Structure formats: structure tokens, C-alpha cells
Structure 1
Amino acid sequence: MNRDAGEVKNGSMQARVIAEMRRRIIDGDVAPGASLSETVLADEFGVSRTPVREALKQLQTEGLVEIRPRVGTFVTTPSRREITELFEMKELIEGAAARLLAQRGRVPEIDSLERNLREADAAVEQDDRERYAALVQEFHDLLIAGSDNSKLQAHYRILMNQLAYSRLVNTSLSQPGRASQSDREHHLVLELILEKDGDSAERVMREHVRASRRALLAGLPVDGRRASAKPKPGLAGS
């Protein structure tokens, strides 16, 4: 194999490791604080340690892992302060997205958002937290896509990767009444977008993100204990 071919192969292997490890961390398949072994990962992916090492460096740049020299590599566990700061950025970006979408008129994302809310209403009615959590993520993704701003979308994706949002949304929705309140907030945001009221859509979207942050922080551990009662299956209490 010539040098160029070898570099291409290593690059594709590295990209494969990055994509899969990023997915595992974001989806919660690998727990926060978990140790990641270069040797174990190299064996699992059938590659040398070099592409794994470079992949972990990229994931550190994205804020998903922490490399401690002479100690090891660990999945990042965001502090409450870091989560608060990330949600402050989420609030700004999603508020801007709501405003931009309100200016665009009847675009395909609007139809998708209306379908999303019909399914979300049914999930809340059926007490199906897992389904509703997935629809929450989709709602926010559709809102960002509807902004039609590639720079905003790129920054949002980096932000959401650092938050590992799919893990956090379940904690937020575990709070009594949060699921049904979240659903109502989504409906109001879309109503304002349909009315082309960008100022109000941005304001309400930002309020929605702040409410989600409060619910999330209420469910996170405090000094080794949960800040509230343990979440119960389904959407009980909503």
C-alpha cells in the first residue's frame, strides 16, 4: 500500500471511530465518567491504536471526552455550571431559530412541526415518556432546520453534542407535570411562528428553554443525592 492510500485508509478508520463513539456518548450507551481504553477500542474496531488516539483527540475537542495525561481518557461529565452555560447558549440559538422560521412563511418544516405536535399530544395522553422524549428532540431539530441558516445549525450541533441532550431530556421530563407543560410550550411557539410574530416566537422559545433547564437541574444529583424524588415510569404526574 502506498503512503497516500495508507493515509486515506487511516482517515476513514478514524472517521468511523469518531462517528460511532460520538453516537454512543450522545445516546448514553457509554455513561458519563466512564473510562475509555485505546487498546480495547482498537481491538473492538479492528484498527491500530493510532486512529483511535486521534479519534479521542477529536472527541475531546468537541467536549465529549477528557484526556488526562498519564491517567486515561474519560467520558465528560458536565458540571451543573457547565450545563447552565450550555443551556444559556441553547436558549440564544433556539430563540434565534424561532425568529428566523417565523420570517420564512409556509415552509416544509412547518408541516413537519405540526405532525410532530400531533404525535407529541398522543404520547403525553398515552403516558409514553420515551416516545415523547424522542419527539421533543425532533421538534427542536426541526426548528433549527427551519431557520435555514447553516452557521446556526453547525453551532447548534456542536452544542447539542456537548450536552449529550438525549440523556438530559429524560431527566427533565421526569419532573412532575413537565411533559404536558413542555407540550403546551411547543404548541405556543408554533402558533407564534405561524402568525409570523418573530419577536414573540423568540421570546417564548427562550422561556421554554429556561423552563427545561430548571426542570433538568431539579432532577440532577446534588451532593450525591437527587434534588427531587426518583423519576417514575411513564409521564405520571403530567
Structure 2
Amino acid sequence: MRRKPLERHQTLREKILETIRESILKGTLKPGEKVAEPELAERFGISRTPIREAFRQLESEGYLTVIPRKGAVVTELSERDITEFYAIKSILEGYAARLAAEKLTAREIERLEQINRKLAELAAEGDIKTFFKVHGEFHDLFIDAAGNEKLADLIRQVGMKFNRLRIASLSLPGRMEISVAEHRKLIEAFRARDGEAADHLVSKTAELGGKVLLESMKEQKPGKQPSYMGEAMDL
């Protein structure tokens, strides 16, 4: 009988980060609202120092804005933020895919297939939290295979700053399934060593991610949380 793998317990810092992320994605903490240090410190039974460290990480991910002498507030995201991020993502990751098409080994392409099969399972289960993590592994593989370290660093820096947008986009109905389908096309382009097709596929998929997120925001009535907030509540 096979033993189940041991679950890794979250560290206290990870619990703090996840608590705040969840509250923002659910809409419990709204844009512009202050995140109270004392309440978090009391809830977790710790000093404010680790809370402030968590705030700094969440600021780097685009969830919070830390204001001197005021504290941390939930970052407000505009349509311009979405448009600019996905335009940058489209160009940078598209170029990485073009380079990777010439350099990916047969074993790496098979690994991409394995990862995408896992993503299909997660999409069927509706597990957005794990899907987002594994989705990152898929992209990291071909970005690293491109062989341009500065490009890879830049993509990750920009991506980290807008993690909130990326999760929101993948959380929209049908987006996980679309992502899996687009990955299949991308793998075929890699297998054919077609850098132009790979560039085009990655660019268009990024543009679609931004477009559907913008449309979702525009459809909401004033004062109502965007629909992706509810979809992402299990993060």
C-alpha cells in the first residue's frame, strides 16, 4: 500500500500572507482600506515585526501599498494597471517563447506535457490555488529554456508585482480550461521548433487574459466586487 505524501505545514509567515491575500481577493478588505497591524498581531499572537515583513512582501506582489506613518492599505487597481501589465507580459513572454522554441530539449517538452496534463486535472477539480502554482511551473520551464537570464529575471519581477491580477484572470469562469487548451497549442509549436508561432500564441493568450479581466470589471455595478473575487475565495 502506497503511503500518502506528508503534507507540508504552513509557517506562521505563510499563514499571515495567505490570510491577507484571501481577504483582499474575497473583497473582505477593499481597495484603499487600511490593514490593521494590531488585529493581525493579536490574532496570530506575535509582535508587529513579522506582520510588517509580510506587508512588504504583499506590497511587492501588488496587494498592498505601505504608506509612511499611515501603514498598509489595499492597493487600488485601475484599468490602466491591467492594460499595461498584460501588454508587457505579452511582449516579454512571447519573446521568451520564441527563443525557447529553438532550445527546448525533447525531455523538457515532455515535461511541459506532463505539467499541462496536471493543469487539466486541476481545472476539472476547480482548484485555482494549486492551478496557479503549477501554471507558474509551466511558464518557468520555457522561460528558463530561452537561455536569457536578464529576460527571465525581468519577467519574474513584473509577474510578482502583479500576482493579484494573474490570479484574478485565471479565476474567471472557463479561464483555466482555456489556459490548458492554449498550452497544448504552444507545446505543438515548441515540438515543431516554430518560434514565430510560439511567440504569437503566448502573446495572444496574455492579451486575452487582460481583456477578459477588464470586461469582468466593467460589467460590475458600482460598489459591487468583481466576479473573480468570489471565484478566487479558496486561495
Give TM-score scaled by structure 2 length.
0.69
* Corresponding residue for residue 11 of structure 1: none
1:96-140 Cα distance to aligned partner (Å, 9 max, x none):
22112112031643222110222334455xx32226834434322
Task: Give the secondary-structure state (helix, strand or coil) at the position aligned to 1:29.
Answer: helix
1:182 corresponds in structure 2 to 179
Change (3 A) 1:37 1:86: same
Structure 2 unaligned regions, length at least 5: 1-10
Q: Distance in 2 between matches of 1:100 and 1:57?
A: 34
User: Aligned-pair RMSD on alpha carbons?
Assistant: 3.8
Distance 2:227 2:58 in 1: 32
Match of 1:236 in 2: none
In the alignment, residue 167 of structure 1 is paired with which amino acid?
A: I
Provide, for residues 132-190 of structure 1, a one-character-per-residue CA deviation record: whole Å limited to 9, x for no partner. 83443432233323333332222222222222246314433x15xx4443322111111
- Using the TM superposition, name which of 35-44 and 69-78 deviates more: 35-44
1:209 matched residue in structure 2: 206
Contact map agreement 1:36 1:73 (CA 8 A) in 2: yes
Say whether residues 1:24 and 2:23 are aligned partners. Answer: no
Report the count of equivalent residues: 210
Q: What residue number does 1:87 align with?
A: 86
- Percentage identity across paired residues of the two chains: 27
Is the 1:193–1:201 Cα contact (8 Å) retained in structure 2? yes
Relative contact order (alpha carbons < 8 A, sep ≥ 6): 1 or 2 greater?
2
| Contact 2:171–2:228, Cα closer than 8 Å, also in 1 | no
- What SS is found at the alignment partner of 2:66? strand
Question: Structure 1 residues 77, 164: CA separation in 2 closer, same or farther (over 3 Å shift)?
Answer: farther
> Partner amino acid for 2:131?
A
Which SS does the other structure have where 1:96 is aligned?
Answer: helix
Go from structure 1 to structure 2 and tell me whether the alpha carbon gap of 1:170 and 1:54 turns closer, same or farther (over 3 Å shift): closer
State the partner residue of 1:37. 36
Distance in 2, matches of 1:143 and 1:229, equals 28
Relative to structure 1, the CA distance from residue 107 to residue 30 in structure 2 (aligned partners, 3 Å threshold; closer, same or farther) is farther
Deviation at residue 45 of structure 1 after TM alignment: 7.2
Q: What's 1:168 paired with? A: 168
Larger Rg: 1
TM-score, normalised to structure 1's length?
Answer: 0.68
**Judging changes above 3 Å, is the alpha-carbon distance between structure 1 residues 214 and 96 closer, same or farther for their aligned structure 2 residues?**
same
Residue 201 of structure 1, CA deviation:
0.7
* 1:115 partnered with 2:114: yes
Secondary structure at the counterpart of residue 65 of structure 2:
strand
Q: Is the 8 A contact 2:101 2:194 kept in 1?
A: yes
Closer/same/farther in 2, CA of residues 226 and 37 from structure 1, 3 Å limit: closer
Q: Counterpart in 2 of 1:194?
A: 191
- Could you give the per-residue CA deviations for residues 183-225 of structure 1, whole angstroms, max 9, x where no partner exists? 2211111111111111221011101111122222222345334
